[in-house]
Amino acid sequence: MTTATASRYTAEYQSIAPALPGQSLTWLQQLRSEALASFSVHGFPSLREEDWRYTNVSAIEKKLFKPVAGLTAGTVDADWLRQHQLEDAWSIVLVDGHFSAALSVLDGLPESVSLMSMAEALSAQSALLERYLGRAVAGEDNSFIAFNTAWFTDGLFVHVPAGQALAKPVQLLHVVTQAETLAATRHVVIIDDMAEAQVIETFVGLGQAYLSAAVTEVFVGPNADLTLYKQQSESDKAYHFGGIYVKQARDARFRHHNFAFGSLLARNDIHADLDHASECELNGLFVGGKRQHIDNHTRINHLEPRGSSREVYKGVLDDRARGVFQGRVIVAQDAQNTDSEMNNRNLLLSDDAEIDTKPQLEIYADDVKCGHGVTVGQLDEKSIFYLQSRCVDEETARNMLTFAFANEMVDKVKIKDLHDRLLEQLLARFPQEGVKKEWL
């Protein structure tokens, strides 16, 4: 069964394939052709699939998004970029799915650390990549992964060797500048034994309709520590599909902070597989207005004993926005003494906003501590009146309360520059007459 839409994309594929990176790598060519075959059969996910029942992706089938012709990147104004580029960080900037050396910042990188574009890594680090690329997504049933594997043009490659703690964060800055563009990017982050790093994925674009399709494969080695941030501030006409697939080794610690503010339609998949005594923390904040649709799909897989996971996702939905939270925690039979908690709290600001939330616990072990909770609510009228009685006008009072609800997630961000930028975005969304940033 070849779907009509898949065939539109696959027909197009032959004309772009020769320009994709890694032509000389047989293992990659094989991965790509298998992925293309799989995608040709399945097409994009349909509402009939349980994992996609709340999110209709048919809009991206109606348009044909294309990788930028000739693989030449659009131009980005450096001043504009500075709004999004962190000051004290190394960065890989991808423009329309291609690495821009001029905009990236790599000075002073320790020699032992590899930080480069995926295209470069495919020649400079091909032996290492052969072992990692595709491994974290093996067994995943999501045709966006196959789509990404076949189509990706570039991406981020980070390798922090054993025992090394990166002094500065690494930012992947993913920029789309042209309408109708498909930016399919593949990212691999490898943190070896006892190493530590902080990585930020930032997705932004100029105000057009485009499609970002990113897959990030993350490997956190034994007793290693990774904090991964995702700041999704795509244009309000954009489609965003981002998947993060994490393999945690024994005692590995992984923290994820997912901020979904932008795009018309966004879907996040975050899957983590935990080993013995791994720790996993998933934090999320999604803020939707107008007709935005933001879907978050998380899966924490406790495979071995003594793992712990903490998950908090908060949603704020206004106007006719729709949010989805599907959180799954799986505790395998061997994963005794697992300690897991999942929470999803949602604030609906209008009668037409909607949240579909589905936390799921699947527990096959018998000695575990697992809990989950969900709340869906509105702003408390008593609180609004209380603030009004303290001189605050009603609109500001509403924004103050909404901001406070959301800011709990921003407050957890440890990188000050990133924290302040997120805070500003939140304040811009929920303005408070007369408020000063330093009071917060």
> Which residues of the chain form contacts with other proteins (CB under 8 A)?
380-383, 385-394, 396-397, 400-401, 403-405, 407-408, 432-436, 439-440
User: For residue 386, what are its two tokens?
Assistant: 């209380």
How many Cβ atoms from other residues are within 10 Å of residue 359's Cβ? 19
DSSP assignment letter at 42: H
**CA 108/CA 96 separation, integer angstroms:** 26
Are 349 and 317 in contact by the 8 Å Cβ rule? The answer is yes
DSSP three-state, residue 123: helix
In whole angstroms, what is the distance from residue 61 CA to residue 347 CA?
A: 31
φ, ψ at 119 (rounded to 5°): -60, -40
CB 220 within 8 A of CB 193: no
**Which amino acid is residue 150, in one-letter code?**
A
CA–CA separation, 154 vs 146, rounded Å?
15
d(CA 45, CA 327): 18
Round to whole Å and give the CA distance between 287 and 231.
12
At its nearest, how many Å lie between other proteins and the CB of residue 432? 7
Sequence-separated (6 or more) residues with CB below 8 Å from residue 173: 81, 84, 85, 91, 92, 93, 94, 103, 202, 204
Amino acid at site 327: G
Q: Which of helix, strand or coil describes residue 74? A: coil
From first CA to last CA, the distance across the chain in angstroms is 55
Tell me the closest approach of the beta carbon of residue 425 to other proteins, in angstroms.
Answer: 17
Place of tokens 């004290």: 88
185 vs 402, beta carbon nearer other proteins: 402
Q: At what angle do helices 26-42 and 143-151 cross, to 10 degrees?
A: 140
**Rounded least distance, CB 343 to other proteins, Å:** 15
Q: How many CB atoms lie within 10 A of CB 178?
A: 17
Task: Give whichever of 29 and 383 is closer to other proteins, judged by the CB atom.
Answer: 383
Q: Nearer to other proteins by C-beta: 237 or 419?
A: 419
